[in-house]
A and B are shown apart, each in its own frame.
Chain A
Amino acid sequence: MDNRPLKIYLFFCSNSFDTDTARRYCAAREGEELKAISLPCSGKVDLLYLIKAFETGADGVMVITCKQDACRYLEGNLRAARRVEAVDSLLEEIGLGRGRIKVIKPKEEVDVEQIIREVDNFRAKISGLACSNSQ
């Protein structure tokens, strides 16, 4: 089971990352199972979605929010960050350790390059961790 492909979920705010870019990015990563889930606002992510992602085999989860103070729903990006923190801590309790979930918050309104760079870094980091929870 150690040979199974790396499985990573990308939850993203549709105002800072577009679905086409996300799909293209995912499709280009052969040998990895990358899933991109578009959200009207990153504040839509719930503890439950995030933990379910891990239950169904994710090795890592990223939540791409919009830029600071740019949330169209005022504080969605702040909530997303808090929930990611809560899941990070829950994962530690579970025994998977911290660092398998991460928020990516662009510095500019639309900064696809920065997002892709951070996603790359995160993928590299996760692939270095031990396999999470094979089923």
Chain B
Amino acid sequence: MIVAERKTIPELIEILKGQKKVLVLGCGTCVTVCLAGGEREVSIISSALRIASRLAGFSLQIEELTIERQCDNVFIEKAAEAIERNDAVLSLGCGAGVQAIAERYPAKPVYAGLNTAFLGILEERAVWTEKCVACGACVLHEYGGICPITRCAKHMLNGPCGGSREDRCEVLPDRPCAWQLIYQRLKGIGQLDRLKQIKPPKNWNASIHGGLRVIVREDHRI
């Protein structure tokens, strides 16, 4: 799922300065699960913004609403009236949600209340970790199901860098070295041979490096 976290209150106050009536719009999908932009967070952030805007001298009038999915027009529809009656929207959706709302309401300022961070999973209670950079050309089958592009800070495709340690990555002491995990895993499933071939340079065309990505399914278009 998509994992995000809230911008700080001073940042949000700076963004909303000059607005009078703002709709704080939550999303019931990924950002609800990662405790960043669901109904509960909408209330907390709205409360915080009411107090902070009073202190900053421009009492915001805030309406709260959470829809099931901000990245889908069918659900955006349910926020239509609330969006219309406010001057601006502070979306607590992911980057896709914010843009979906903005595209749907060209005349309405739509601001992002979250920083969309990554595609990841809930590793343990209240800890989310990144697992996928959506490179568009999955290589997980070659690496025992552990992604070297996402989880190795240097995207190394042919083995660890010289700074690899059994218990950590060169970059951050609390992150495991992806290559140690890949090695252990391939060894465990009897596929260590996969590591012996030299993997050629990756074609990054399918990733963000290739420009904006669009997927079209002609068979579903009529």
Contact = CB atoms under 8 A, between A and B. Distances in A.
Contacts of A46: 40
Contacts of A90: 9, 44, 48
Q: How large is the interface on A (under 10, 10 to 19, 20 to 34, 35 or more residues)?
A: 10 to 19
Interface string B59-83: 0000000000000000000000000
B54 A135 contact: yes
Interface stretch (A21-29, A30-38, A48-56): A48-56
B8 A55 contact: no
A68 B51 CA distance: 33
A124 interface: no
A93 B8 contact: yes
A94 B52 contact: yes
A48 B56 CA distance: 21
A94 B51 contact: yes
Interface size class of chain B, counting residues whose CB lies under 8 Å from the partner chain = 10 to 19
A54 B49 CA distance: 12
A93 B49 CA distance: 10
B10 interface: yes
Given A48-B40, A48-B43, A93 B48 contact: yes
Contacts of B48: 51, 90, 93-94
A133 B40 CA distance: 22
A94 B47 CA distance: 10
Contacts of B47: 48, 51-52, 54-55
Interface string A117-135: 0000000000000000111
A109 B9 CA distance: 39
B121 to A, nearest CB: 22
Nearest to A57: B51
19 contacts: A46-B40, A47-B44, A48-B43, A51-B47, A54-B47, A55-B47, A55-B51, A90-B44, A93-B8, A93-B10, A93-B52, A94-B48, A94-B52, A95-B51, A95-B55, A95-B56, A133-B54, A133-B55, A135-B54
Interface of A: 46-48, 51-52, 54-55, 90, 93-96, 133-135
